[in-house]
Amino acid sequence: MNTNAQLTFQSNSITDTVTLGESIGALLRRGDTVLLAGDLGAGKTHLSKGIVAGTGSTNLVTSPTFVFINEYRTATQLTIFHVDLYRIESAAELDSIGLADATAGSGICLIEWAERDPSLQEIPHLHIELIHHKQTSRVIRLTSYGVRATEIIHILQQHPPLIITQGDRA
Ligand SMILES: Nc1ncnc2c1ncn2[C@@H]1O[C@H](COP(=O)(O)OP(=O)(O)OP(=O)(O)O)[C@@H](O)[C@H]1O
Ligand SMILES: [Mg+2]
């Protein structure tokens, strides 16, 4: 699948990360998939909190590390599937957690540690990588795989919620 666009932001605080998430969440629609990558503590769950809030959801977002999948509702009653694959240990376990429902396109799908399941890369998606920069700053790089994610990146580039550090292919 072709990479169509890339856009890199700098976050200098938790608030920045949540704000970026809110802008992304406000743009999401039924069938959209967001795959989040980055080390432990990079900020994937904080970004997810922003994304869920940005959909107009009032649900409390918690890390789905132990339950694998949390479900929330957007303001328009779409389901948001918030998945964390960090603790997945085998392909059999992956099959058992209900990931197929989450990725079927009936709602919005948000997956932390998505690299644990390489087949997810086949789905058109917005890829977000968070990189530790300093103690309270993060580099957040968005890459689109598919038309919808490219559309989202173009809108964020026109109305950037944070400082853009790189937008070479958007
Ligand atoms: N700019 C920032 N953006 C996001 N989090 C930040 C930032 N600066 C510091 N932090 C801290 O980094 C941590 C990020 O935690 P978070 O749970 O969001 O990470 P995660 O990527 O989901 O980790 P895990 O892989 O364990 O699920 C928190 O302790 C938060 O306070
Ligand atoms: Mg997390």
Instruction: Render pLDDT for 70-119 as a digit per residue (tens, 0 to 9).
Output: 999 999 999 999 999 999 988 888 888 999 999 999 999 999 999 999 99
Each domain of the chain, given as residue ranges in start order, spans 3-166
Ligand nearest to the CA of 87: 1
14-23, 34-43, 86-95, 154-163: lowest mean pLDDT where?
Answer: 86-95
CATH classification for the domain delimited by 3-166, as one of 3.40.630.10, 3.90.660.10, 3.40.50.300, 3.40.50.1580: 3.40.50.300
Q: Residue 74 has what pLDDT?
A: 97
Closest to 46 in 3D by CA, of 83, 24, 21 = 21
| Ligand 1 atom 13 nearest Cα | 41
Closest to 129 in 3D by CA, of 40, 62, 38, 68 = 38
Instruction: Out of 11, 12, 14, give the residue to mutate to test ligand 1, the one with the largest number of ligand atoms within 8 Å of its CB.
Output: 14
Q: Residue 65 has what pLDDT?
A: 83
Torsion of CA 140, 129, 18, 84, to 10 degrees: -170
| Ligand 1 atom 3 nearest Cα | 14
Report the residue count for the chain: 170
Distance 40 CA to ligand 1 centre (A): 8
Ligand 1 atom, smallest distance to 63 CA: 27
Q: Does any ligand 1 atom lie closer than 6 A to the CB of residue 136?
A: yes
Q: Does any ligand 1 atom lie closer than 6 A to the CB of residue 45?
A: yes
What is the C-alpha separation between 90 and 57, in angstroms, rounded?
A: 32
Q: What is the DSSP string of the chain?
A: --EEEEEEEEE-SHHHHHHHHHHHHHH--TT-EEEEE--TTSSHHHHHHHHHHHTT--SPP--TTTTSEEEEE-TT--EEEEEE-TT--SHHHHHHTTHHHHTSSSSEEEEETGGGSGGGGGS-EEEEEEEEEETTEEEEEEEEESHHHHHHHHHHHHS-SSEEEE-TT-
Distance 5 CA to ligand 1 centre (A): 25
Q: Residue 71 has what pLDDT?
A: 97
Ligand 1 atom, smallest distance to 113 CA: 25
What is the C-alpha separation between 69 and 88, in angstroms, rounded?
A: 12
Across residues 141-153, what is the average pLDDT?
A: 96
Task: Give pLDDT tens digits for 27-45.
Answer: 999 999 999 999 999 999 9
Q: Residue 92 has what pLDDT?
A: 87
Task: Give pLDDT tens digits for 55-74.
Answer: 999 999 999 888 899 999 99
Distance 13 CA to ligand 2 centre (A): 16
